[in-house]
């Protein structure tokens, strides 16, 4: 017995009411079948595949398929089965319902496809190569294109217009679209430039004072770059700013053989003097200075042999000998990279004395280890200055320095 006969048997005589009730029952039946098919995909199929993926040795299947993916799969299966079931029971849905189902299928297909691309990106990010060449920005750009196409197709479904006609009409609104998607377009171009020129990648330490960023790059997306600062705060920077504005990338230091130490101590000018015989005898006992002092004394003796006036003679100074001592001490320090530039130099004197600068590269690049190496250098420097009768400049306790 078909539905119409069943309704007539129940006492429904009006043809209009019969048609309405028959359509409503068929609609409910098709909707129920579609809902059950979607539930099957979301619950049973998802559980089976996820359980199977968890038992495999590979990790890519765990990253590719997740619960989010199967929720979108169920959302796609429901309207497809709904439409097929409605046709199978010889009932054509109303035009509005048919268009809604078609739009539902287009939107669900787009969501499922973008979810699959997201899973593919997660699989790619599980490999070390992704830190150097992230593809998330390109995945997001492709997703944006898919969403735009889906929107155009859905508009065509409800308006009955051909896609080519809609694209022709949308060309007139190109300026508006460029304004709406300005950040996405700029981010896409910036992402391509960042990747092609290898300007920044995940894991890099970058410093961008204009945006308050000083830390490690966590994520590079279509529109933003996330940086976790060293105080554990997160700064979000528009991707195009990394191309248009200046920033510092410390990757070169991390890939090089050392991290630079560039710090100076100000020597009180009043403590600088020529070394007397007693001081020379004390300093020449140092294994780091013995060879230098012997060689220098012989050189000075040969030079001074033809000089009668004390003003014309050359003599060892405590600051010059101290500078030579620090260079020898750095040369023997195992924490210094000796294949890179290393020197101890004087800078332009000023009101606060003579700056004596240590310029070298620490072989230990990790932040804490580097700070220890740098501190050890200056701990030793301050401690041995006294043996050269040198004093670091500092303001007297009763003098307040003028503000500059």
Based on the fold, state whether residues 187 and 76 are members of the same structural domain. yes
Rounded CA gap, 271 and 282, in Å? 18
pTM of the full structure: 0.53
Based on the fold, state whether residues 241 and 96 are members of the same structural domain. no
Q: 76 lies in a domain?
A: yes
Based on the fold, state whether residues 210 and 264 are members of the same structural domain. no
What pLDDT is attached to residue 2? 61
DSSP string, 132-197: HS--HHHHHHHHHHHHHHHHHHHHHHHHT--HHHHHHHHHTTHHHHHHHTHHHHHHHHHHHHHHHT
Tokens coding 60: 């890519």
What pLDDT is attached to residue 46? 67
Based on the fold, state whether residues 240 and 137 are members of the same structural domain. no
Q: Residue 106 CB: number of other CB atoms within 10 A?
A: 20
**Beta 354-362 vs 259-267: how paired, if at all?**
antiparallel
What pLDDT is attached to residue 332? 94
Residue-number span of the structural domain to which 229 is assigned: 205-254
**Among 254, 271, 295, which residue terminates a domain?**
254
What pLDDT is attached to residue 58? 60
Based on the fold, state whether residues 247 and 321 are members of the same structural domain. no
Number of domains in the chain: 3
Rounded CA gap, 341 and 129, in Å? 32
* CATH code of the domain in which 220 resides: 2.30.30
**Among 216, 238, 254, which residue terminates a domain?**
254
Beta bridge partners of 72: none
What pLDDT is attached to residue 1? 40
Based on the fold, state whether residues 248 and 164 are members of the same structural domain. no
Based on the fold, state whether residues 7 and 143 are members of the same structural domain. yes
What pLDDT is attached to residue 346? 94
Based on the fold, state whether residues 36 and 181 are members of the same structural domain. yes
Q: 155 lies in a domain?
A: yes
**Among 147, 168, 196, which residue terminates a domain?**
196
- The list of the chain residues with pLDDT below 50 reads 1, 8
Sign of CA dihedral 21, 23, 24, 30: positive
Residues 294-326: b if buried by 16+ CB within 10 A, e if exposed = eebeeeeeeeeeeeeeeeeeeebebbbbbbbbb
């Amino acid at each position: 017995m078909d539905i119409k006969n069943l309704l007539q048997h129940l006492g429904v005589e009006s043809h209009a009411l019969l048609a309405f009730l028959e359509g409503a029952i068929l609609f409910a039946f098709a909707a129920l079948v579609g809902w059950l098919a979607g539930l099957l995909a979301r619950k049973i199929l998802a559980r089976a595949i996820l359980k199977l993926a968890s038992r495999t040795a590979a990790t890519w299947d765990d990253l590719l398929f997740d619960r989010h993916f199967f929720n979108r799969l169920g959302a796609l299966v429901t309207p497809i089965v709904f439409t097929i079931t409605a046709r199978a029971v010889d009932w054509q849905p109303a035009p509005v319902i048919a268009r809604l189902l078609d739009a539902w299928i287009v939107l669900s297909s787009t969501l499922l496809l973008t979810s699959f691309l997201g899973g593919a990106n997660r699989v790619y990010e599980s490999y070390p190569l992704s830190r150097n060449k992230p593809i998330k920005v390109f995945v997001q750009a492709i997703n944006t294109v898919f969403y735009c196409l889906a929107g155009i197709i859905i508009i065509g479904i409800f308006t009955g217009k051909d896609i080519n006609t809609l694209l022709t009409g949308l060309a007139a609104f190109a300026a508006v679209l460029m304004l709406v998607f300005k950040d996405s377009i700029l981010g896409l171009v910036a992402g391509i430039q960042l990747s092609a020129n290898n300007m920044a990648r995940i894991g890099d330490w970058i410093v961008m004072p204009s945006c308050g960023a000083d830390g490690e790059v966590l994520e590079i997306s279509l529109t933003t770059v996330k940086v976790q600062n060293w105080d554990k705060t997160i700064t979000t920077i528009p991707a195009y700013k990394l191309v248009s504005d200046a920033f510092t990338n410390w990757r070169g230091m991390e890939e090089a053989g050392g991290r630079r130490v560039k710090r100076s101590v100000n020597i009180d000018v009043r403590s600088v003097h020529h070394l007397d015989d007693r001081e020379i005898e004390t300093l020449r006992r140092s294994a780091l200075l013995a060879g230098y002092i012997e060689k220098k004394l012989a050189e000075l003796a040969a030079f001074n042999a033809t000089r009668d006036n004390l003003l014309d003679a050359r003599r060892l100074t405590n600051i010059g000998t101290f500078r030579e001592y620090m260079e020898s001490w750095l040369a023997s320090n195992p924490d210094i990279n000796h294949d890179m530039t290393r020197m101890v130099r004087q800078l332009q004197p000023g009101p606060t004395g003579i700056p004596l600068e240590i310029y070298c590269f620490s072989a230990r690049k990790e932040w804490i280890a580097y700070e220890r190496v740098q501190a050890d250098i200056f701990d030793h420097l301050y401690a041995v200055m006294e043996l050269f009768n040198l004093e670091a400049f500092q303001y007297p306790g009763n003098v307040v320095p003028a503000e500059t």
